[in-house]
Amino acid sequence: MKTHILALLSSLAITASALAHGEVELGPNGGRILEFSKDETMHGEVTVKDGKFVIALLDKDKKPVALAEQTITANGGPTGKAAKLEVTKADGKFTIPAVKPGEWLILQYKDNAKAKAITARLEYNLDNCSACNAPEWLCKCAANKAKK
């Protein structure tokens, strides 16, 4: 009986540590990739510059996509108290004020005005990963371990 309980507890601990990072994919500019489609044909690469989130659109091959009719709406803040954030389009990218460390960024992407919105979420966790020393929101340790 004790063996079964120890095995179960070990499994739970391993699972919890793997889920701490999640499956993070980084883009060609070193930013976090968020999925903006149901079939992985549109991605958003989130980077931070001058205290703002910068979101570049990428196709299925992670190549830049020109902005046309696409829109993003954003909310951010502490869990349960998210507020609408201003989104601007400039230089072929979307720009949004960065949320505070530990808060959530919730994006709703649409290809055009008639398209159904795709929701993507990101916890802006600036704590460093003990394994790779990257900020948790950009840590890809779990993704590398899964590939091995």
Q: How many domains does the chain have?
A: 1
Give the per-residue pLDDT at 3.
Answer: 54
Give the per-residue pLDDT at 146.
Answer: 45
- pTM of the complete model beyond 0.75: yes
DSSP string for residues in the chain: -HHHHHHHHHHHHHHHHHHHH----B-TTSPEEEE-SSSSSEEEEEEEETTEEEEEEEETTS-B---SS-EEEEEEESTT--EEE--EEETTEEEEEPPPTT-EEEEEEESSTTSPPEEEEEE---PBPTTT-SBGGG--HHHHHHH-
Residue 18 lies in a domain: no
Q: Domain range spanning residue 130? A: 24-147
Give the per-residue pLDDT at 69.
Answer: 95
Residue 85 lies in a domain: yes
Residue 100 lies in a domain: yes
Residue 42 lies in a domain: yes
Residue 6 lies in a domain: no
Q: What is the pLDDT along the chain (148 residues), one digit of tens a residue?
A: 555 444 444 443 333 333 344 568 999 999 999 999 999 999 999 999 999 999 999 999 999 999 999 999 999 998 889 999 999 999 999 999 999 999 999 999 999 999 999 999 999 999 999 888 899 999 888 544 444 4
CATH, residue 33? 2.60.40
